[in-house]
Amino acid sequence: MKTNEALHIPKSNGHYAMWVEHKGTLYLSGQLPIHPITKEVPVGIEAQIKLLLQNIESTLKEAGSSKNHIIRNEVFINDVAHWATVDKVYADFFGDHKPARAVVGNAELHLGCLIEIVTTAAIIE
């Protein structure tokens, strides 16, 4: 089992690895929409999910995977009213690739974020 931190996003203060690779599968910890340079969270659900998906794609690339190798996403949103926007941006990002997905309404997320995603992906062989 191999663990690591993503180089492009802020290191967490929590007791966990940013990602763990085990037997060809990559498990990303919950990702928040934090800008890798400014460390700021953008305003609005559309801006947050776009940044979040870019951050996930960068982390996957660093770890030896890609968005087309994502197996499953667990999406946490603070308000189910965001569902239509989240689904549209998500569909535009993934195109024909359709990973398994769960969407969970969650009253409050860390740092006041509107969305968080936990990702499982295959390592590119």
Each of the 125 residues of the chain gets a pLDDT tens digit; together they read: 666 655 555 566 677 778 888 999 999 999 999 998 899 999 999 999 999 999 999 999 988 999 999 999 999 999 999 999 999 999 999 999 999 999 999 989 999 999 999 999 999 87
Output the pLDDT for position 114.
98
Tokens 């180089």 — which residue?
Answer: 7
Enumerate the β-bridge partners of residue 119. Answer: 28, 73
Model pTM? 0.91
Enumerate the β-bridge partners of residue 115. Answer: 77
The CATH classification of domain 2-122, taken from the options 1.10.1200.10, 3.30.1330.40, 3.40.50.40, 2.60.370.10: 3.30.1330.40
C-alpha 17/C-alpha 4 separation (Å) is 6
Amino acid code (one letter) for 81: A
Q: How many CB atoms lie within 10 A of CB 20?
A: 16
